[in-house]
Structure formats: C-alpha cells, structure tokens
A and B are shown apart, each in its own frame.
Chain A
C-alpha cells in the first residue's frame, strides 16, 4: 500500500514562528503536492513538485515556501506564521504521468495547524 506520512497530526504555534510541515512518501513517486483545506473553501493547492529540487506555485503560495531535496520528502515552510494560516494541511503524491495514463493521487492523514 502507498503510504504518505505527515510528521505532525496537530501543531499549535505562535504568530511569527517559523513552521515546518514534513511529508514523506514510500512509493518513489515523482509528483508531490501541498494543499490546505478550509471549511467553505475546499481544497486549495499551495505548491507542487514534479521532481527533486523542482517546485511550482499553486493557487495560494503567498506566505509559504517548499523544499524538495530528496525524492521521498516534500516540506512546507511557513516563514512567519500568521493566524490566517490556521488550517488543515494535506500532502499528496502520485507517480509521474506515463503516456496517456495519469496515476492515482494519494493523500496523507493531514496536519492540523493552529496559529495563536
């Protein structure tokens, strides 16, 4: 079974702190994604990565950065946490597209971040 593991299920941080959210997948997937999920707003893409050291901005990258130094690990960084970044953060991965076939997207369990 594919496993996407997010290091922290629950975090409480203070405004201005630097926050690291870690995600590791064990299936050698090329593509990895970070979403946030908020009531009434659904899932919104923050950043994604097609391969090691590659990153692309999603729909709401402001206030976030990412790091992908190894294929299995994709980190989301909040440089200076703010209260409006209180949310559920979801990491996902999938294999690279192969011809006309796009692989399934697999999600981690989520990290609920509260910024006070």
Chain B
C-alpha cells in the first residue's frame, strides 16, 4: 500500500527565505503527483500537478520537482511571504491514475 510522508511536519521561517518542502512515497509506480495548499478551516487549493512524464512544474514563485525512481518530490518556494503561511500537502496518484494518497502535510509559518 502506498505511503506518503511529508517532513518536516511544521516549519517556521523569516520572510524572504527560499525554502524546500519534501514529499516522499514508498511505491515509485505512481502516475503523477499534485501539490496543494490548505488555509485553516478551508478546502485545498491546487498548486501544481506533475504528470508522470514530467520532471518539474513551475508557477510563479513555486517550483515542484518529481523523481519517481527515488520516490521523492520537492516543492520550492522562492522569496517566501507571510501570505504563504498555510499547510502544504502532496498527493500521489496510483499507477492507473485513479486514486490519490495524501501526505500528512507540512504546516508553514512565514514570519514578517
């Protein structure tokens, strides 16, 4: 059964820092991977979707990479801002591209 782990569970950084959030998965036979952001008490907002044939995706200050062979994905946030404070979750699709397994999330706090 696929297991998805996000380390660290919580992270606090000063504004302006570049930071990396990690996501690891046990079964490398995944179809693709999606990163989400969740604000307290709200739903999940899609940030980036990396298809199985891709190695990375970029959107603004965000860059996500995928290394299926090592079972890892990273989300890079450049020049962090207080508005980036949220919980970030990764989710991997099974090999058929149907079901997702979510990680537990990294709670990010960016201090002014």
Contact at B41–A42, with CB atoms within 8 Å?
A: no
CA distance A1 to B69 in the complex (A): 34
- Residues from chain A with a CB closer than 8 A to the CB of B105 are 42
Partner of B93 from the list A6, A43, A102 (CB cut-off 8 Å) is A102
Within 8 Å CB of A6, what residues of B? 43
Say if the beta carbon of A104 comes within 8 Å of chain B: yes
Minimal beta-carbon separation of A115 from chain B (angstroms): 18
Chain B 95-109: CB-based contact to A (< 8 A → 1; otherwise 0): 001111011110000
Q: Which of B1-55 contact A (CB under 8 A)?
A: 31-32, 34, 36, 41-46, 49, 51-53
User: Considering only CB atoms and an 8 Å cut-off, how many residues of chain B contact the other chain?
Assistant: 25
Query: How distant is the Cα of A112 from the Cα of B33 in the complex, in angstroms?
Result: 27
Residue B77 CB within 8 A of the other chain: no
Which of B34, B41, B91 contacts A110, CB < 8 Å?
B41
| B44 contacts A107, C-beta separation under 8 Å | yes
**In angstroms, how far is the closest chain B Cβ from the Cβ of A41?**
9
B32 near A109 with CB under 8 A, answer no
User: Is A106 engaged at the interface, CB distance under 8 Å to the other chain?
Assistant: yes
Q: Are B102 and A90 in contact (CB under 8 A)?
A: no
- Interface flags for B73-112 (1: CB within 8 Å of A; 0: not) read 0000000000000000101010001111011110000000
Q: How far is the CA of A101 from the CA of B54 in the complex (A)?
A: 11
Q: What residues make up the interface of A, taking CB atoms closer than 8 Å to B?
A: 4, 6, 42-43, 45, 88, 90, 92, 97, 100-110, 112
List 14 other contacts, CB 8 Å, given A104-B46, A107-B43.
Answer: A6-B43, A42-B104, A45-B99, A97-B97, A100-B51, A102-B31, A104-B49, A105-B46, A106-B46, A107-B45, A107-B46, A108-B43, A110-B41, A110-B42
A-B contact pairs, 12 of them (CB 8 A): A42-B105, A88-B41, A92-B44, A100-B51, A102-B49, A102-B51, A102-B97, A104-B34, A104-B49, A105-B46, A110-B41, A112-B41
